[in-house]
Amino acid sequence: MLEHGAAPPPGDTNTEPPAPGAVGTGLMRRKPVERLVAESGKGQGGSLRRTMGVWQLTMISIGATLGTGIFVVLGNAVPVAGPAVVISFVLAGVTALFSALSYAELAGTIPVSGSSYSYAYATLGELVAWVCGWCLILEYGVSVAAVAVGWGEYLNELLDGVFGFTIPDALAAPPGGGGIFNLPALLVVLLAMVFLLGGAKESARANTIMVVVKIAALLLFCGVAVQGVRSGNYANFMPLGIMGVSGAAATLFFSYIGFDAASTAGEEAKNPQRDLPRAIMLSLVIVTALYCLVAAVAVGAMPWQKFEGSEAALAGILKAVTGQSWWAVLLAFGAVIAIASVVLTVLYGQTRILFAMSRDGLVPRVFSKVHARTGVPRVNTVLVSLFCGVLAAAVPLGELADATSIGTLFAFALVNVAVIVLRRTRPDMPRSFRTPLAPLFPAVGFLLCLYMMSSLRVVTWVVFGVWMAVGLVIYFGYGSRRSRLATSEK
């Protein structure tokens, strides 16, 4: 619930709060909340600009979330859970809800760009913060690539319906997916990069338009596909049992990673303490409702055995229900816009997280260099976009989605712990939003994240373990010695 009397957002007064030094020493040194807030917006050579209100922040979260699961991953999840994929969406949504409450509290209390990385830095220490930030790089950076892969599927649907041709498989799928190089995936990432380089305000405006288009596309799907719903398609509702439902939910949690995207805009929000919690909660409610509605109509309109892992399942359903290709063309157009919006907003979040980590000295300073005219971390944006674009062009979707899910769940688990720790260590700190029934709800959120992680495949855990090992090597070889808190200890 929102509280009155919360501290004003940074930038609203001429008086900056004090910036105390580190709390604790060594790997457990923490960055005080006051210092995080005092440094907000400041980069190398310039500052981020506060241009976003609650509407733009909500659209960022919806833009980063809506479309990822329903347009791309649904076809992979239905064969795992059957018609009970609707329950899988609910289970993933409830898991996200507990973490969203924790995110809302911390976003209002620590309104900075680093998201859960910064929250961990203030509560759990630098080493844990690095691990969290490394997970966020996996969560945001890899999910951009995963979503971009699905974009090519719908682009081909659109090209086929309008012009009668498609991009050859060799140029529309990654190695291992029947192709040589996924050119559409690379192109959509580069297009998002161009928007981001224009400035945060301009990117937010473009994203809002795209969000409206994709919500309209999903409502159009429901309105048309409901005509093909048959009760028999729900008859064997849970054919693969509860393990199938939880396994699909773990994969579909990938669909919810965007709700925390607003928290990465903490230093570009006009009134972050008030607006960030509202944007996070509102976006999660809207997205969950749409996901469940579309999933229920989809499995009712087509037997679950026929989904066969298609990454363009909704367009295929419309074509089967109506017998006319132009409905599928309309949906494909909406999906192309929708997935481009996800790429844009998630890529935005990744650049801001690296901005915060760079400002703290844990990654090279080039990532916190801000262009004086546009207020955009340009080099950061270009480097991240090129990395994600090449990854999207070269790696199959399935591996990317699961790798993203485990990184997301781990970061969310840490956020739930951070709420409990901050409540205990700083109980009197002004909070514009308070998680209900704390520490119970954060503890439940933490346990649910662990449960979802346990449902993922062994190979995903192996990939995650390798990723964490690489991250620790980088931290001890570079970040721990160049950290601004470490240098201030000397």
* Dist. CA 266–CA 271, nearest whole Å: 9
pTM equals: 0.81
Domains contained in the chain, CATH given: 48-484 (1.20.1740.10)
Helix segments in 395-475, DSSP class H = 397-425, 440-454, 458-474
Angle at 332 between CA 317 and CA 228, to 5 degrees: 20
* Dist. CA 168–CA 64, nearest whole Å: 29
Residue 30 main-chain phi, psi, to 5 deg: -120, 150
Q: 78 Cβ partners below 8 Å, 6+ apart?
A: 85, 248, 298, 299, 304, 307, 313
Q: Which pLDDT belongs to residue 486?
A: 78
* DSSP code, position 2: B
* DSSP code, position 32: -
Decide if 61 contacts 207 (C-beta within 8 A). Answer: no
Task: Give me the percent of the chain exceeding a pLDDT of 70.
Answer: 88
CA Rg value for the chain: 22
Tell how strand 42-43 and strand 46-47 pair up: antiparallel
Q: 135 Cβ partners below 8 Å, 6+ apart?
A: 407, 408, 410, 411, 414
Q: Which pLDDT belongs to residue 27?
A: 67
Q: What does the pLDDT look like over 62-119, one tens digit per residue?
A: 988 887 667 767 878 888 898 999 999 998 888 889 999 999 999 889 888 888 899 9
* Dist. CA 142–CA 389, nearest whole Å: 10
Nearest to 482 by CA among 369, 358, 392: 358
* Dist. CA 357–CA 135, nearest whole Å: 13
Mean per-residue pLDDT pooled into runs of 10, the chain (490 residues): 41 40 67 82 71 88 79 80 91 88 91 87 92 85 76 80 83 73 88 89 87 89 91 89 86 77 83 89 91 92 78 76 81 83 88 90 90 85 90 70 76 93 90 91 92 82 89 92 76
Question: What's the one-letter identity of residue 436?
Answer: P
* Dist. CA 382–CA 150, nearest whole Å: 22
Angle at 89 between CA 69 and CA 394, to 5 degrees: 25
* DSSP code, position 137: I
Q: What does the pLDDT look like over 357-387, one tens digit per residue?
A: 998 999 998 998 888 887 888 999 999 999 8
Helix segments in 39-142, DSSP class H = 54-65, 74-81, 85-109, 116-123, 126-136
* Dist. CA 189–CA 205, nearest whole Å: 18
296 alpha-carbon distance from chain centroid: 24
Nearest to 221 by CA among 310, 311, 307, 300: 300
- H or E stretch at 230: none
Give the end-to-end CA distance of the chain in Å, rounded to a whole number.
42
Q: Which pLDDT belongs to residue 38?
A: 82
* Dist. CA 50–CA 53, nearest whole Å: 9
Residue 57 main-chain phi, psi, to 5 deg: -65, -40
CA neighbours within 13 Å on the CB side: how many for 415? 35
- H or E stretch at 184: helix 183-197
Q: Which pLDDT belongs to residue 396?
A: 67
- H or E stretch at 33: helix 33-38
The token duo for 96 is: 């996200």
Q: Which pLDDT belongs to residue 19?
A: 45
* Dist. CA 131–CA 413, nearest whole Å: 12
Q: Which pLDDT belongs to residue 5?
A: 39
Decide if 454 contacts 155 (C-beta within 8 A). Answer: no
